[in-house]
Chain A
């Protein structure tokens, strides 16, 4: 059912007509996020600039049973901000102010629409460090990062977005504003609602402000590349590094297909005659960095790497990391549709999982490019396909089912950092089990009794 004219008129009155978009030309560009092969037209797109505006919009939506899909820059990879049919997309990119950098407490208070890059830059300008660096950090919003609990290349040592959220301002479905968390390092007053909203994918409330933890900037950093003739050797090197109790900042891996695509785009001279490439980065005290680098080089050589190259300058190091961040998009160079997954396994099972993905691809006659955060056990097998080829798309689905089953069997998870959204909704119940699903659904009903927040995502609410 399309949006009722009184709802639109109400939104225009609350937000200003220039902040309510309804024409086809305006809506089509909001009918998708960063997820492949998903498209759904919203009923309207609205922009809020302040928390009171978000409150007013939610009150109206709740009273009129209007679906609200909160959106930042729309770079998500599980369809979390894909519109529900005829919903109102509540876009927060205009709420992008950096509100306070507290040097005494090492915290940063920002509005939800600020980009991850702006957060990282603000921290760096104060000589501090905000570690989470998802692939789309140049444009992804911090609110989106919190809602999806985004990861990045530095997860191994520094963790993910959750580990840096100290407080949140959230507008609840009926328009009430809730603050959870504060600048205290320790706080055990009540349940940690903050943790409930992190990764809630817009289903429990609308995050409007985020209080972030910053850390001192590591004084030294070294980046190295190692290439291998066999995938197993790279996986074994990663396992050996972890087993040697070395925790580098980054342990990324790219397979041959991904290496070629990335270098075709970035043209930074990645070695092309190898099956696997490890991008390793150590940061911290210079002496520790030196020792870690020496250990990693030795372990790579022990596993018969073809070559190890140490980046000579910061510039070269950052070019390598930036190039790695483009891996997913660069894979689109060789196929019209790229569908990536996010299966994650305990690190001891990595070599097995990498082999399994390759075998599944072969079995279903699919092209796959695999890259990922090997140090976290977080793989991104990416099927290179064409959404117009129904038969092949069906085989992609079968392949994913097998990959998820195997990941779960190995004690892993169906998503390491991209979220459930709609893309993995049907796998959640199998992974989470009955008890967890019941609690998830009850929580959702309590916080959003009318089911207006991001309907159709993550899980279905209990019907009352």
Chain B
């Protein structure tokens, strides 16, 4: 788990994890980057072979190796496909940590961006939300519109223009402004749960958090939503900053003592997949290990939790039928294996007709910050997703991760596809409101 004796993250890893891959190749057809390139280097077993070569001292952690580790989406589709049970998530996090340790990819620009985002902005959510308020101000006062129309953006490099176009609309209020610290259960209290509001979810889709809390309350949960909250560390863990991820895990364990809740709820696939492994992350930390184990037991994806306690279905109310399809967040389906529950919850909405999306668990290209650092591959994946989406004829696509939601929103806008992108909790909350 650590850079043992300064050997490096891959050499320090338990060799059984490195050796687990028996290179049968069953992961290849499920890997988006192998599918696109047909190059073994861009496949799970190829990447594992490179990691093993480093652990064996047959290869140094080169720049090419580093680039390869950041070409991987980290979608974990290979983990669903792997009969041998290779822990790719752990290998991948350690490989990226190794890349950062040796600094082969470091350039002044990259270091500055990483410092600003991973080590500053996302280390304290107050900074992130402050930044969000500034952006909101810029958007709400009409300045963004003006800037965009003025054509001044055309003076920026092409990549910056593309990034500017991806800027999400910041909502007027964040979760703390929408959700009380304690939300009572509707009807008798059956459970007491804590709500994790996340970073991107809070910044861009705070209403998804409000909807989640509403749905939980409708299902007999008293919901505790403290503020200010902290990043869960998934961004850090997935991007080679294991120590920062540990630090954030401890902060979360302090804020949410697991023994005080029946469940600790997350509604973002990417976060959940990281949040459920605090005990592994803190295995070598005697002060927090026990608490982290309790946390892992309590931490639940909201769909998983609602399906487990038995959803109270919204009452039929004569609303017009709507055709909805479901795009699976990689880290919800491959990372957490929560596959049936979101569909089950969606089907419980009376006027909702759920149609399956072809390749519903194939990455949309968002993959955390992948669409920012690998725009070409991300765009290819987005196009593929949009093709399938258009073929369903659905007017709504449900998805349970802010990265996916933003990616699909941008994609639909690019293509002029008239489809609404919504979190399943938003659709459920609306159904409860309609039947109230």
Contact = CB atoms under 8 A, between A and B. Distances in A.
Nearest to A74: B25
B41 A26 contact: yes
A139 B53 contact: no
B29 A138 contact: yes
A117 B26 CA distance: 12
Contacts of A29: 39-41, 43, 45-47, 49-50
A21 B53 CA distance: 18
A382 B43 CA distance: 26
B64 interface: yes
Contacts of B46: 28-29
Nearest to B82: A329
B43 to A, nearest CB: 7
A265 interface: yes
B88 interface: no
Interface residues of B, number: 31
A94 interface: yes
B333 to A, nearest CB: 14
A73 B83 contact: no
For the complex of A and B, 5 pairs with smallest distance between CB atoms: A29-B46, A332-B84, A29-B40, A329-B83, A326-B83
A136 B24 contact: yes
13 contacts: A25-B62, A28-B46, A29-B41, A34-B23, A47-B38, A93-B38, A94-B38, A117-B29, A136-B24, A136-B26, A139-B28, A329-B22, A329-B82
B58 interface: yes
A257 to B, nearest CB: 14
A138 B78 CA distance: 14
A119 to B, nearest CB: 14
B85 A332 contact: yes
A25 B41 contact: yes
Interface in B19-44: 19-20, 22-26, 28-29, 38-41, 43
Given A25-B64, A28-B49, A332 B83 contact: yes
A117 B47 CA distance: 24
B262 interface: no
B217 to A, nearest CB: 33
Interface string A326-344: 1011101100111000000
B158 to A, nearest CB: 24
B25 A330 contact: no
A266 B26 CA distance: 14
Contact of A73 (B28, B49, B50): B28
B16 interface: yes
Contacts of B62: 24-25
A33 B23 CA distance: 7
Nearest to A336: B19
Interface of B: 16, 19-20, 22-26, 28-29, 38-41, 43, 45-47, 49-50, 53, 58-59, 62, 64-65, 68, 82-85
Given A266-B83, A330-B83, A336-B16, 13 more contacts: A23-B64, A24-B59, A25-B64, A25-B68, A29-B39, A29-B46, A29-B49, A30-B40, A75-B24, A136-B26, A139-B25, A329-B83, A332-B20
Contacts of A21: 39
Given A23-B64, A29-B50, A73-B25, A330 B84 contact: yes
Nearest to A89: B40
A265 B16 CA distance: 18
Contacts of B83: 261-262, 265-266, 326, 329-330, 332-333
B84 A333 contact: yes
A427 B119 CA distance: 59
A139 B23 contact: no
A36 interface: yes
A324 B406 CA distance: 39
- B41, B43, B68 — which one has the most chain A CB atoms within 10 A of its CB? B41
A7 B50 CA distance: 26
Contacts of B49: 28-29, 31-32
Nearest to A332: B84
A26 B219 CA distance: 53
Nearest to B63: A25
A227 interface: no
Given A330-B83, A332-B83, A25 B26 contact: no
B22 A338 contact: yes
Nearest to B47: A29
A117 B28 CA distance: 13
Contacts of B58: 28
A328 B85 contact: no
A239 interface: no
Given A23-B64, A326-B83, A28 B50 contact: yes
A74 B38 CA distance: 12
Contacts of B68: 25
B352 to A, nearest CB: 23
A25 B45 CA distance: 13
Nearest to B25: A75
B26 A332 contact: no
A55 B267 CA distance: 56
A330 B64 CA distance: 32
Nearest to A35: B23
A145 interface: no
A75 B53 CA distance: 20
A208 interface: no
A333 B24 contact: no
A233 interface: no
- A29, A262, A266, A336 — which one has the most chain B CB atoms within 10 A of its CB? A29
A384 B43 CA distance: 26
B348 to A, nearest CB: 22
Contact of B26 (A23, A32, A139): A139
A32 B25 CA distance: 11
A70 interface: no
A438 B123 CA distance: 72
Contacts of A338: 22
- B39, B50, B59 — which one has the most chain A CB atoms within 10 A of its CB? B39
B49 to A, nearest CB: 5
Nearest to A25: B64
B238 to A, nearest CB: 22
Nearest to B18: A336
Contacts of B25: 34, 73-75, 136, 139-140
A282 interface: no
Nearest to A30: B40
Contacts of A28: 46, 49-50, 53, 58-59
A150 interface: no
B59 A25 contact: yes
Contacts of A73: 25, 28
Contacts of A330: 83-84
Interface in A1-53: 21, 23-26, 28-34, 36, 47
A34 B49 CA distance: 12
A370 interface: no
A115 interface: yes
Nearest to A77: B24
Interface in A83-142: 93-94, 115, 117, 136, 138-140
A191 to B, nearest CB: 35
A262 B83 CA distance: 8
- A28, A115, A264 — which one has the most chain B CB atoms within 10 A of its CB? A28
Given A33-B23, A328-B24, A332-B22, A139 B41 contact: no
